[in-house]
């Protein structure tokens, strides 16, 4: 009988340790990784490129992007609470992108987006944002027309946005 009690105690002890180990792994999997690498359309990476984002707190992140024809920087703030895994997280931001148009015009855009990001349990992120933008055209693209030279630099207002798919690590 003492032999059976000893086996039962060992079995409970083993199951307790196993449960603790599995519990710790689940918590590690659900921990929010701080780095995100994404493929991006518009946003800080100009018309298309790659962005790196670093989550600096539970409610803020910084990003930089490099694209086909430009680069950019940005900051994101989550005003409605911490970034939650498995949920849609609304955010506000301030972003900057500098790029060259296909015909040579150098321009930059500063925009203040409102967006949504879905942070999956499997390490993937899906984000979309849109907001008012201030565009500044710096050069006229090398055209030697006097009328073009006299109109640059100039500014205008518009809308800019971003679509990103990335993974956390």
Q: Are 92 and 112 in contact (CB under 8 A)?
A: yes
Which of 90-104, 110-124, 135-149 has the least mean pLDDT?
A: 135-149
**Do residues 156 and 90 share a domain?**
yes
> Which residue is it, tokens 């002890």?
13
| Token couple for 153 | 């630099």
Q: Which domain holds residue 44?
A: 34-168
Percentage of the chain beyond pLDDT 70 is: 70
Number of domains observed in the structure of the chain: 2
**Do residues 38 and 11 share a domain?**
no
Alpha helix (H) ranges present in the chain? 2-30, 146-151
Q: How many CB atoms lie within 10 A of CB 109?
A: 21
Check residues 63 and 15 and name the one with the higher pLDDT. Answer: 63
**Do residues 108 and 127 share a domain?**
yes
| CA atoms of 80 and 116, how far apart (whole Å) | 12
**Do residues 88 and 160 share a domain?**
yes
| Token couple for 164 | 């990103």
Reported confidence tier of residue 112, pLDDT bands at 50, 70, 90: very high
pTM (two decimals): 0.72
**Do residues 120 and 103 share a domain?**
yes
pLDDT the model gives residue 142: 53
| CA atoms of 54 and 60, how far apart (whole Å) | 9
Q: Please report, for residues 20, 31, 51, 120, 165, the alpha-carbon distance to residue 92 in angstroms, rounded to integers and kept in the order given.
A: 39, 23, 17, 20, 18
**Do residues 56 and 134 share a domain?**
yes
Range of 14-18, 68-72, 97-101 with top mean pLDDT: 68-72
Q: For position 110, which CATH number holds? A: 2.40.160
**Do residues 16 and 71 share a domain?**
no
Check residues 140 and 162 and name the one with the higher pLDDT. Answer: 162
**Do residues 68 and 132 share a domain?**
yes
Check residues 74 and 104 and name the one with the higher pLDDT. Answer: 74
**Do residues 80 and 130 share a domain?**
yes
pLDDT at 25 over 60: no
**Do residues 40 and 70 share a domain?**
yes
């Amino acid at each position: 009988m003492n032999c059976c009690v000893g086996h039962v105690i060992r079995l409970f002890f083993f199951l307790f340790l196993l449960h603790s180990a599995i519990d710790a792994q689940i918590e590690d999997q659900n921990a929010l990784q701080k780095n995100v690498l994404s493929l991006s359309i518009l946003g800080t990476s100009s018309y298309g490129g790659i962005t790196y984002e670093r989550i600096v707190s539970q409610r803020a992140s910084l990003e930089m992007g490099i694209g086909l024809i430009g680069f950019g920087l940005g900051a994101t703030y989550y005003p409605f609470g911490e970034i939650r895994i498995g949920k849609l997280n609304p955010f506000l931001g301030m972003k900057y992108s500098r790029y060259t148009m296909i015909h040579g015009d150098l321009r930059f855009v500063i925009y203040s987006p409102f967006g949504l990001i879905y942070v999956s349990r499997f390490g993937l992120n899906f984000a979309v944002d849109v907001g008012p933008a201030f565009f500044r055209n710096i050069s006229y693209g090398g055209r030697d027309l006097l009328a073009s030279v006299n109109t640059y630099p100039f500014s205008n207002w518009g809308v800019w946005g971003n679509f990103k798919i990335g993974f956390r690590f």
